[in-house]
Every structure is written in C-alpha cells, then in structure tokens.
Amino acid sequence: MAQRVLVTGGAGLIGTNLCRRLLDDGQQVICLDSFFCGRRENIEDMLGNPRFELIRHDVVQPILLEVDHIYNLACPASPVHYQFNPVKTVKTSVLGTIHMLGLTKRVRGRMLQASTSEVYGDPAVHPQKEEYWGNVNPIGTRSCYDEGKRVAETLCFDYHRQNQVDVRVVRIFNTYGPHMMRDDGRVVSNFIVQALQGEDITVYGDGSQTRSFCYVDDTVDALVRMMEQTDTPGPVNVGNPVENTIRELAELVIELTGTRSRIVERPLPDDDPVRRRPDITRAQKSLGWQPSVSLRDGLMETISYFQKLL
C-alpha cells in the first residue's frame, strides 16, 4: 500500500531526486520547502502528478499534517547558504527537527533525519566511523551547521528513548548531481560552472585536502533503504568510500568539459576539514548498500545538467 511521505527540503538537490524516486516507487509525496535553498524549477515537472503535493513552508514554524513517513532534509547545506544567516541555520536544524519529531510522535509515524559528515568536524580519525564523536569547533564560522546537526541527532535519539519515536539517522557525505544550484558554493558545482564559463578554477589551499563524492542517485537509494529497514535507528554513514583530492577533482572537471581553464589557489577557509572519507561498513551490513556510480560517470551527468542550465 502506498505511504503518505513528507519530504522537507524537498526542492533541494537531494530532496528533488528523492521526491522523484518516491513517486516512481508509487508513494504519495508531500514536498515541503521554504525556497531559501530549494528551487521551484526543480520540482515543476512533478506538479502535474496527482500523487505529488507542494507546500511552501519553513520548518522553523510548526505544521500539522497526516503522514506515515518523514524525510527531514530541510537545512541550508552549503557554506554560502548556512553562513548567510547562521542563527536561522541553527533554528532550522533545532526547531525544525523538534517540530518534525513532534509530528512523527503525534501520527505514530517514522522519521529519517538527514545528518551530515560535518558532525565529525575536522576529523582526527580516518576514515570516519559512526562511533567517532568528532572534532568540532563550537564557536567557528561553520558551527551553526556542524553543531546544529549534532543537536538534531541528539534530539532524534532523545525522542527515541523518551517517547519511543521511530527514528532513522543518516550522516550524508559530499553529494553531487543534477539539480545542484550553480551558486551554492559547493566544490563540484563551483568547478563545473567555472569550467563551462571558461573561468579560472578556484582551489582553496593547495588542493591536497580530500573529499569523498557520492552521486545523488546513490545517496537517495541509501535513504530509501534506511527508511524501509527495521534493524537500526542509526546513525549510518552514507557516502562514497573512494577518496579524491580537490586538485584531482579540478583536473577531472577540466578533462571532461574540455575547458582551457587554469587552476588557481586561494587561502583555505577557517575550519575546513583536511580529510574526509566515510567508513560505510555499517551501511553495507544493515542496508546492503554501497555506491555504484563512479565519479567520472556522475560528473558527466552533472556537467550535462549544467550545460543545459547555463
């Protein structure tokens, strides 16, 4: 039987692709978004579907709905956006999660909280396992996002222990793909847009810092598997265990776009993690999941998307 599923932040990168996947799976989908980061154009092709509903709403304010499952994705996820109004970012993570957990409790449903690899901060343990508590600066320029997401996890497990609320927590590592914003400040979209426009590609630091890039379809598949399984509330890392330097990413984007852009270096931002790679053993065991899309193939799809967008 079809579930009635609420996706907060449903017009963002992951939310858009998740809504589309849930519709393909036969679910009834409510997309909730304030359009601070999400874009209406991302979900316009779904508006004619009778099983899809759009609500413009900010999760900082409570809302009453009748749903079975909630994917709580609402929160600015790129430095450009979460540092624009850091107090609002904290409110979105904390108050938004409280409101969604309260809704889940009332309807006796199930909620998946989209947490982040940023809860590990600049990790002193590599690769990062879920048991690692992190190395986070609580008063830095990234703290509004890092600590907001950490408190959101705390709330999930306190609601679970105190009120038996059915929760799932995933820690999402760098995700990219179609429906990224061109100006969101994320490294993949930055590099692709700069390359397609023939501009210099900006690398912060010397480009030796590493990230693990997961294509959005793989991330969405993990979220759906996490919601449907009943073995663990999490947290579970969701990301690609293949580690790449930022310079390697820039060079691959140059190759795939055929641009003549040069790589230029700029000072490294405060609290920027030096290394980031998930240990996905738990996801492999609990979800039967691991990424299937290579960085090269995923970048080709993303470049194609931006070529049409630009």
SS3 category, 30: strand
- Backbone phi, psi, residue 210, to 5°: -115, 155
Please name which of 14, 51, 75 lies closest in space to residue 221, comparing C-alpha atoms: 14
Cis peptide bond N-terminal to 123, omega within 30: no
CA dihedral 224, 226, 230, 231 (to 10 degrees): 150
250, 207 Cβ separation under 8 angstroms: yes
Strands (E), 117-213: 166-172, 175-176, 201-204, 210-211
* pLDDT for the residue numbered 12: 94
In this prediction, residue 108 carries a pLDDT of 97
Residue 273 has pLDDT above 90, yes or no: no
Please give the pLDDT value at position 285.
97
Query: If you average pLDDT over every residue of the chain, what do you get?
Result: 93
Residue 84 has pLDDT above 90, yes or no: no
Pairing of the two strands 28-33 and 4-8 = parallel
3-state SS, residue 66:
coil
For residue 271 the two structure tokens come to: 């609290």
Q: Give 104-116 pLDDT, tens digit per residue.
A: 999 999 999 999 9
- Of the candidates 153, 45, 33, which has an alpha carbon nearest to the alpha carbon of residue 93? 153
Q: Name the band, by pLDDT with cuts 50, 70 and 90, for residue 81.
A: low
C-alpha 54/C-alpha 40 separation (Å) is: 10
Is residue 159 annotated as a catalytic residue, yes or no?
Answer: no
Q: What stretch of H or E contains 305?
A: helix 295-309
CATH assignment, 4-309:
3.40.50.720
pLDDT of residue 271: 59
Q: 45 falls in which pLDDT band (50, 70, 90)?
A: very high
Give me the catalytic one of 145, 159, 176, 215.
145
Indicate if the alpha-carbon torsion angle 233, 15, 251, 289 is positive or negative: positive
Interval 95-150: pLDDT, tens:
999 999 999 999 999 999 999 999 999 899 999 999 999 999 999 898 988 999 99
Instruction: Please write the tens of the pLDDT for every residue from 242-261.
Output: 999 999 999 999 999 999 99
Which tens digits make up the pLDDT trace of 161-197? Answer: 999 999 999 999 999 999 998 887 789 999 999 999 9
Question: Are β-strands 244-245 and 210-211 bridged in parallel, bridged antiparallel, or unpaired?
Answer: antiparallel
**Whether the predicted pLDDT of 78 surpasses 70:** no
| Euclidean distance between CA atoms 276 and 244, whole angstroms | 9
**Would you state the structure tokens that stand for residue 153, as one six-digit string?**
């996890």
Q: CB under 8 Å to 17, separation ≥6 — which residues?
A: 177, 178, 179, 216, 217, 220
- Per-residue confidence (pLDDT) for residue 181, from 0 to 100: 87
- Written as six digits, the tokens of 309 are 């967008």
Nearest to 62 by CA among 29, 31, 91: 91
Lowest mean pLDDT among 9-18, 154-163, 197-206: 197-206
Domain locations along the chain: 4-309
Q: With a cut of 90, say whether residue 92 has pLDDT above it.
A: yes
pTM of the model: 0.94
